Amino acid sequence: MTGLSLALAGTVVPNKKKLKLMKPTINNNNEDKKKLFSSHHHNNNKGGDMVLRKKLRLTKEQSAMLEHSFNQHTILNSAQKKSLAEQLNLKTRQIEVWFQNRRARTKLKQTEVEYELLKKRCQSLTDENRRLKKELQELTAIKTSPTTTTTVAMCSSCHNKLLHPN
């Protein structure tokens, strides 16, 4: 199953004040061990198997552009990829990956929606079920009641005769 990210665990009910206070994350690789790149496979790793990858952070403009392109075509051909790559100063591979991830995200959203629908359906089924059971019980009660059975045990003509014997 795909990752249903269905955040069921929301548990956050009231939305509180959000004070934002951006902490300027002065994150930087203070320690740049760059240069080590690839020590592919097997390693007496200082700190594990480092692959030294570059993590991209897209700018607002790049994201916007990508989104826009995605809205037009969720899948690109190589020419389009190259074109976009040039415009955005990214590698075609990165464009490619971005679109893959973007498609995946779309699909994920879909599953979330499906889950919600299933939940609603389950609820209405439960309701209807309860209704049916109640109704059924009432009917059964009527059917098995002595009044009913004795009533239909004698036909109307007999009944009349009984009341008015000629």
Does position 66 interact with a copy of itself (CB under 8 A)? The reply is: no
Q: How far apart are CA 100 and CA 162, in angstroms?
A: 86
Q: Which of 16, 42, 60, 68 binds DNA (CB under 7 A)?
A: 16
Does position 65 interact with a copy of itself (CB under 8 A)? The reply is: no
Q: How far apart are CA 103 and CA 68, in angstroms?
A: 14
| Interaction partner, residue 162 (DNA, a copy of itself, none; CB < 5-8 Å by kind) | none
- Provide, rounded to whole angstroms, the least separation between the CB of residue 23 and a copy of itself: 9
Closest by CA position to 4, among listed 125, 159, 129, 119:
119
Per-residue string for binding with a copy of itself, 93-132, x by CB under 8 A? Answer: -x------------xx--xx-xx--xx-xxx-xx-xx--x
Does position 25 interact with a copy of itself (CB under 8 A)? The reply is: yes
Q: How far apart are CA 67 and CA 98, in angstroms?
A: 10
For 119-162, the DSSP string reads HHHHHHHHHHHHHHHHHHHHHHHHHHSHHHHHHHHS-HHHHHHH
Does position 69 interact with DNA (CB under 7 A)? The reply is: no
Contact 89, 74 (CB under 8 A): no
Instruction: Give the footprint of DNA on this chain (CB under 7 A).
Output: 1-3, 5, 7, 9-12, 15-16, 18-23, 25, 27, 51, 53-58, 63, 75-78, 93-94, 96-101, 103-105, 107
